[in-house]
A = this chain, B = another copy of it.
Amino acid sequence: MLENNFKVSFNSTLYILSLDPNEDPVTGLARVSSLNSIQTIARRNDRRRWEQERIIQRHISVIDHDHILSEKFESLDYEIIENELYRDEESHKDHQRKLFRQSVNRWVVCFLIGIVTALVAAFIDIMVYYSAQIKFHVIIHALTEKCDHEKIKGGGCIWMVLSAWTFYNCFLVGIAAVLVVYFAPASAGSGIPQIKCFLNGIQIPGVVRLKTLISKAIGVSCAVGGGLAAGKEGPMIHSGAVVAAGISQGRCVSFPMDFKIFEYFRNDKEKRDFVSAGAAAGVAAAFGAPIGGVLFSLEEGASFWNQSLTWRMDNSFNIWEIPAFCIIAVIGGLLGALFNSLNVRITKYRKFYIRTNFQKIFECLLVAATSAFVGFITIFVVDDCKPIGINPNLTEVTKLWCPKGQYSAVASLFFQNPEESVKSLFHSPINSFRPMTLFIFAIEYFLLSLWTFGLNVPSGVFIPTLLTGAAWGRLFGIGVEYLFPDVTGIDTGKYALAGAAAQLGGVVRMTISLTAIIVEATKDITFGMPIMLVLMITKFVGDLFNEGLYDLHIELAEIPFLGWHPPKVCRNILAQTVMRKDVVALEPVESVQRLVEIIRTTRHHGFPIVDMITAPQSAQDFPDYGHLKGILLRSQIIVLLKKRHFTKDYRGKIPAEGAQNVSLADFRSDYPRNESNIPMLNLTPEDMKCFVNLKPFWHPSPHRVPLNASLNSVFVSFRGLGLRYMLVVDDNNKLRGIITRKDIARFKERRVKNQYLVNEVYISHFNN
């Protein structure tokens, strides 16, 4: 799903430059993405040397041909560029005032995020409500009145209703699919994996744009209203994140607007913090669970807290409940792992065979129609009519199949709002559902939600999974009651709750935040202990087979995600192996010519500054980079070129014509980086001969490691500090290489036959 979210159309020149003749012509995969065509031969030789070296350590490092990282994802810049401008700002007179204003604004922004997120969530809820109202009351009611003369059970009329029902559902789901496919691809799916990646420090294009929010809010209403096995919680969390990003920036990229407020928050670091708050607000809005919201953004999000500790807790519970809950937890872990494994297969299949926009929309309609049909067919197969008295809160459609005064219990599961169905599984009296109903419903809904997650519509996995789990949990409860008829206090609703928690935990593998969300959502703190126990066991069992659904989808999308811990066996993988040696470095004073060339021919985002670059003695070697002085970002170079911050002489005494001063505000107003107007710089050949003194602009203390630092320590620094670059220097502080997120994310931990291995994956250029 993620891979469809955007289309970066590569400049064809760039594409040719990035094709490495050394790489496998069949797969088209490069071990490192290579952008500097001059040094191809040097790289080839280097690579051969490297491959030979690697034979020695083969027992720990295995090249993995199946797993791939996409080249297209860039890191966010969390590091502060502490250049001279930045340092001078602090001694300005109004800096103190600015600091104060900033800390007040932080509260204002958070307050606004809360309000607007709540409004968006309310909008979604209202939309879902009215689309259901139209379906139930206008369409179905009209039809059933028309054929009211068929008093007896079932009859031909039900087929007319089925058709209208299916058509309406397909219509709504069609709107959602069209929005996603044509308007905002980033709004597909639940959005949680994307937000997780954003908070991990990965720039996923379009994920926090206003148009994504619009498409997400309307789309999820249509998808849920259209009867898909889809939830609205994930999309609400995503919406909260978009709201936060938008408000904190005080402007909009999708529709060019700039309110000229909160300009100080226009950098990746501040934005990340607000997005994390927005995701928390989204959880609070979706589940009415503010504490769960905070925990969610801790467990899934921006936190640098060591996760492995958050779910090993002391707790106490009723002794006699332990075995039953443990069994439910194990079942949940197994079913969750099965769900994840099957969903990954479906997603892979979808990736290969469903590629055109037509196919994508058609699949959505197919799922919508199938969801409706499955429900109706089940009514025929499972014929469990109950007197209406037990459950007064029913829609017309549940009464169609049954005689007057009765309703179909299975129809009430399929054709209600999913949240209502969950509630009735938790709270209905013990005989409301027959075991066979629950059994068939659980299997069918499991399969439907399996097919639905990953479709090109905004749709969450929380509620469908809770519903599946609640169904088999209740079935389990009925079984326990049958086995121990004398034990009072067995409440099938309690087992439904445990089953729901287990199924959801087995799929998403969250523990602490899920406990808080479920406890807060159920408004009942007494279930805190058993839920925590269930989620812990579930995670343990599920982790034996695969990862959580979100992590699997992140991997499928080839995103260079950095987990909580470095791979277990990476002490002997050194920085000199991990790093890329073909660095594009700059000298302190550079010609405009070279800067323009670098911007046009490379797609790097950071350029180390060294005191001097000496050309290599032979074509096989890399240049001799001098001592590391700092790092300059691509966005900064573009601002300098735009502002024509040139001098005619190398020493920087004679300003070029039309040269402008550059201030920190210029860099901020250029955020987020907009490269569209590079070709229109209108630089004359005269300009090209000018020079730019980079000293006031570079960041003087980029993070550096020696050649023999291990991947372990590099990983810890990257994760702990949220880095985008790390420079590798030798014993004399001469630059030798650069390490970016992708270079680290290539090394993945795998556990095969009780052995911890480190796999290396390829980096792909393809924009699949």
Contacts and interface: CB of A to CB of B under 8 A. Distances in A.
Interface stretch (A250-258, A479-487, A725-733): A725-733
Contacts of A310: 294, 298
Given A60-B90, A729-B733, A290 B525 contact: no
Q: Quick one: copies of this chain in the complex?
A: 2
B285 A731 contact: no
Interface stretch (A276-284, A360-368, A453-461, A737-745): A276-284
Interface stretch (A206-214, A632-640, A708-716): A708-716
A351 interface: no
A572 B298 contact: no
B572 A87 contact: yes
A314 B525 contact: no
A713 B729 contact: no
A575 B705 CA distance: 18
Contacts of A529: 290
A568 interface: yes
Nearest to A704: B704
A87 B57 CA distance: 12
A98 to B, nearest CB: 11
A27 interface: no
A293 B314 CA distance: 9
Given A87-B710, A721-B720, A305 B305 contact: yes
Contacts of A708: 700-701
Contacts of A281: 313-314
Contacts of A297: 309
A519 interface: yes
A113 B314 contact: yes
A135 to B, nearest CB: 29
A687 B86 CA distance: 55
Nearest to A717: B721
B712 A629 contact: no
Interface residues of A, number: 93
A526 B524 CA distance: 9
A525 B519 contact: yes
A571 B713 contact: no
Contact of A312 (B115, B277, B314): B277
Contacts of A261: none
A290 B700 contact: no
A267 interface: no
Interface in A231-280: 273, 276-277, 280
A313 B295 contact: no
A291 B291 contact: yes
A113 B312 CA distance: 10
A242 to B, nearest CB: 15
Contacts of A290: 313-315, 528-529, 532
A661 to B, nearest CB: 20
A733 B308 CA distance: 37
Contacts of A110: 312-313
Of A59, A114, A575, which is in contact with the most chain B CB atoms at under 10 Å from its CB?
A114
Interface in A165-202: none
A579 to B, nearest CB: 13
A388 interface: no
Interface string A547-572: 00000000000000000000011011
Contacts of A284: 313-315
Given A280-B313, A309-B277, A314-B114, A523 B526 contact: yes
Contacts of A107: 312
A682 interface: no
Given A90-B569, A291-B515, A294-B512, A314 B118 contact: yes
A298 B305 contact: yes
A90 B117 CA distance: 49
A297 B307 CA distance: 12
Contacts of A515: 291
Contacts of A295: 291, 294-295
Interface of A: 59-60, 80, 82, 86-87, 89-91, 95-96, 99-100, 106-107, 110, 113-115, 117-118, 273, 276-277, 280-281, 284-285, 288, 290-291, 293-295, 297-298, 302-306, 308-310, 312-316, 512, 515-516, 519-520, 523-526, 528-529, 532, 568-569, 571-572, 575, 611, 627-629, 700-701, 703-706, 708-710, 712-713, 716-717, 720-721, 729-733, 754-756
Given A106-B308, A520-B528, 18 more contacts: A95-B569, A117-B314, A280-B309, A280-B314, A281-B313, A284-B313, A288-B316, A290-B315, A291-B519, A293-B314, A295-B295, A303-B303, A523-B526, A525-B525, A627-B731, A627-B732, A628-B731, A732-B732
18 contacts: A80-B712, A82-B712, A90-B572, A100-B754, A284-B313, A290-B314, A291-B519, A291-B528, A293-B314, A297-B309, A298-B298, A304-B304, A304-B720, A523-B526, A611-B731, A627-B731, A701-B713, A704-B704
Q: Which 10 pairs show the lowest CB-CB distances between chains A and B?
A: A114-B314, A701-B709, A304-B304, A733-B733, A110-B312, A281-B314, A303-B305, A720-B720, A90-B571, A87-B571
